[in-house]
Chains A and B, each alone.
Chain A
């Protein structure tokens, strides 16, 4: 087995009386690894420990064989895409990525060139000179990815990179992440949606209540997921026409409407997401703006796992 990209040994993190991570020992191997867990499970805490933004209360975190805490020189080899929006809305995508890559030590000229390449990689070159404030949710996620890869890191840490994206952008980003994995980068990507993680990798770390529940290639989770209904909220131009198309789908168990959105409960998430992507790509039922999935589905599975 090769040297682990990330090695956490006996790592705990407390926020005062609240425990964020509880005595985690895990090795993350090269390649794409999914970090899967419901909201509040400790995913973001784990990723912030890996990127050296938090100091473990106990234990050690090593990245590429070196301790990450207090070792900014190692950040040259790391790319981090946080879950929160972190933008200056008045800057253009090009300006923002250029400014950030300069912190990696690139000269002004090289930084401009590197930023253009990174924006091209994530499919945002056409919008490079637009202000970030005018970007859609999917574009904002992609410009965050651009700043994470712009300095060509060996390890990419992506916190919920698909959150809120429309199906087309989601597909593009999944392809990008898989592509980076094929190029030899190690990617650690978090999500609370198994379907998303599965489309990128079969290597999964399951995390809940601050503990790693399981790691490796966990196909059994698939079966468990399928036993629980999966809820998807779709924000679109015409939710009622979308709903009409979904009714014909045999996996759909229920449909409810919210303002500008339809919430679908399905027993066959794979097939459903496939159909949704087709509909969004064709554009025949209007534009699909945002797809999100509450983590209740996964929570049910985790509750089952820890029984």
Chain B
């Protein structure tokens, strides 16, 4: 029988990743895990449905002059994001609710954070997983639509006339996914149950929308739109796409609310993502 010390370890002679890259491992593992779920592929397919419909519309308008009404405009891209909101909500809940809650339930944080991984890298990895899928249903199809418009029309006229559209699409997508991502991660860090986190997030989105709707109905004024999670994004989106803001509340107030929500989420994550939970 081989002595026990001979069965043991050979020193690792390979190349180690540079410090600071561990978040990629967390993100890649998370992405792979989600992609193994068949149901999620159906969700992705549904989320890309609008892209396919609009792509056909762009094609028809570019090739048939009597179908000009299908031609893209700035509003088309704004509407695209509005319709995608439901998928943003669904993907955020499906992918994000368990990202930290499941680690907390299985005490995995204690082991993760005993590895060469900072808390910031851990959060970045989890955020990376969620942002990947959120951008996949927002930024990616929107940019591809813009690209298809150029391809089908064989012209840069539309893009040239709306040069702000590319940065607008990118900026709005980033604002939307960062707000959704940080809020969901913060809620996920508060619980050990993915299901509870999912309900909490959906509750926040729907409840704040309902409160705003009721106030709006009673006062016949949308000056309190900043109360609603979604209304803030809508308001900021209109400004980014150079459209008339749809609510009476100042759009800068919506920017402040979004920034505060992200800041609050970062604060919660800083307090909750710890290897050892310290109860005082």
Contacts and interface: CB of A to CB of B under 8 A. Distances in A.
A63 interface: no
Contact of A54 (B9, B26, B108, B278): B278
A176 B3 CA distance: 10
B107 A103 contact: no
Nearest to B18: A105
B276 A76 contact: no
A49 B14 CA distance: 30
Contacts of A283: none
Interface centre among B21, B111, B114, B280 (most CB of A within 10 A): B114
Contacts of A15: 278-280
Interface of B: 3-5, 7-12, 14-19, 21-22, 25-26, 29, 102, 106-108, 110-118, 274-276, 278-280
Interface centre among B3, B14, B22, B274 (most CB of A within 10 A): B14
A72 B17 CA distance: 14
Q: For the complex, would chain B's binding face be called helix, strand, loop or mixed by DSSP majority?
A: loop
B25 A76 contact: no
Interface of A: 15-17, 48, 51-54, 72-73, 75-76, 78, 80, 82, 84-89, 99-100, 102-107, 110, 114, 117-118, 120-121, 147, 149, 151-152, 175-176, 178-180, 182-183
A123 to B, nearest CB: 9
A53 B16 contact: no
A104 B117 CA distance: 8
A179 B2 CA distance: 12
B5 A105 contact: no
A182 B5 contact: yes
Given A86-B110, A175-B4, A103 B116 contact: yes
Given A82-B107, A103-B22, A72 B117 contact: yes
Nearest to A172: B4
Contacts, number: 117
Contacts of A82: 107, 110-111, 114
A144 to B, nearest CB: 8
A181 to B, nearest CB: 9
Contacts of B118: 72
Contacts of B106: 85-89
A182 B3 CA distance: 11
B21 A105 contact: yes
Contacts of A76: 16, 116
Contacts of B112: 100, 103
B20 to A, nearest CB: 9
Contacts of A110: 12, 14
Contact of B5 (A104, A106, A149, A183): A183
Contacts of A73: 19, 116
